[in-house]
Amino acid sequence: MIDHIVGPFQYSFMVRALIVSVLVGVMCPVLGAYVITRGRAFMGDALAHSVLPAMVAAFLLGISPFVAAVPAGIAIALLMGSVARRTGISEDTSIGILFAGLFALGLVMLSKATNVTVDIEDLLLGQVLAVSRTDVLASLVLTAVVLAGLYAFHRQLVYTTFDPVGALVAGIRTGLVEYVLLGLLALVIVIGIQAAGIVLVMAMLITPAATGYLLARRFVGVMMIGAVIGAVSAVSGLYLSFHADLPSGPAMALVATAFFGVAATGSRRWRAATREGVEVAA
């Protein structure tokens, strides 16, 4: 048993994978708390899919695709933010158009890239066992940037999420705050893609945060519980991936979904119980 848990870490790739898994597990739900309370899940999914062409291009040029995804993710996040504001088309439609178009472009590039072997499954489903030293360093830097951004903008983000009109009247630059959030979201998605892949990074972004939402009372609690559940899901997924030879994205997503299922069945009872408590007290 002990050997199953500790044994894998004789391989340095496994140590790198563990670091990235924890970062993904913690950071995705912290941002995900905003994503779910703002109803931005589709935006998150779209952002993840839209960085595919940049990642493929990086592969072809011999650069780390995750490092290349950083500027691409930020550019696409800003583009999506402004397209959604300016066109007369509804926001989810314009995001959907960009998302599908860019993802299609990435797939076309992949199918034409004959001289380089790109493992498409690793890109789409995540292969945390394959992360390089550069990827680990990049993830640590991105995590620091995102945490600093969340700290600096915490009160503005909270105000604009809860009461966008009141925030505007109070002099908060709500447009800027929205772009900051999208930028941070792009960075977190780039960290997440390494472990969960383009297709399933959304599961790490929203599922643990939603579990936290069921269990916690206040917003910061949603982030905290989400981060713990996210980290446990990611590390469990890593073990599943190592021992059962699975792609890491689906393994992590399944564990996270199982946590959500347990919380959802348990929490209805919990909520009903507290509601009765409140009524008795009142």
Partner 1 sequence: MLGRRRSAGRDCDAGRQCDPAISLEAVVVEHDGLQALEDVTFAVPSGTLMGVVGPNGAGKSTLFDAIAGVHPIASGQVTLSGAGRRREALAYVPQRDSINWRFPATALDVVMMGLIRRIPWYRRPGRQHRDVARSCLERVRLWDRRGALMTELSSGQRQRVFIARALAQDARILLLDEAFSGVDVAAQEGIVRVLQSLRDEGRIVLLATHDLTNLAQRFDQVLCINRHVCACGPPAEAFTPDVLEELYGSHGVEFAEESGLSTRRRS
The single-letter DSSP state of residue 8 is: G
Measured distance CA(69)–CA(193) in Å, rounded: 10
Measured distance CA(238)–CA(256) in Å, rounded: 12
Choose which of 13, 14, 38, 132 interacts with partner 1 (CB under 8 A): 38
Q: Which of residues 204-263 bind partner 1 (CB under 8 A)?
A: 213, 216-219, 222
Smallest separation (angstroms) from partner 1 to the CB of 153: 7
Smallest separation (angstroms) from partner 1 to the CB of 62: 40
The sign of the torsion formed by the CA atoms of 102, 105, 109, 111 equals positive
Among 31-39, 40-48, 68-76, 127-135, the segment contacting partner 1 (CB under 8 A): 31-39
Smallest separation (angstroms) from partner 1 to the CB of 53: 33
Q: From residue 52, give the alpha-carbon distance in Å to each of 66, 70, 75, 101, 102.
A: 10, 12, 13, 11, 7
Smallest separation (angstroms) from partner 1 to the CB of 165: 5
Measured distance CA(49)–CA(45) in Å, rounded: 6
* Residue 88 within binding range of partner 1, rule CB under 8 A: no
* Residue 164 within binding range of partner 1, rule CB under 8 A: yes
Choose which of 50, 94, 139, 156 interacts with partner 1 (CB under 8 A): 156
Give the closest residue to 52 by CA, choosing from 110, 97, 96.
110
Query: Applying CB under 8 A, what is the total number of residues that bind partner 1?
Result: 28
Q: Are 255 and 196 in contact (CB under 8 A)?
A: no
Tell me whether residue 139 or residue 156 sits nearer to partner 1 (CB atom): 156
Q: Are 237 and 192 in contact (CB under 8 A)?
A: no
* Residue 86 within binding range of partner 1, rule CB under 8 A: no
DSSP, collapsed to helix, strand or coil, labels residue 64 as coil
Choose which of 1, 244, 273, 278 interacts with partner 1 (CB under 8 A): 278
Tell me whether residue 225 or residue 253 sits nearer to partner 1 (CB atom): 225
Q: Which residues bind partner 1 (CB under 8 A)?
A: 36-39, 152-153, 155-156, 158-159, 161-166, 168-172, 213, 216-219, 222, 278
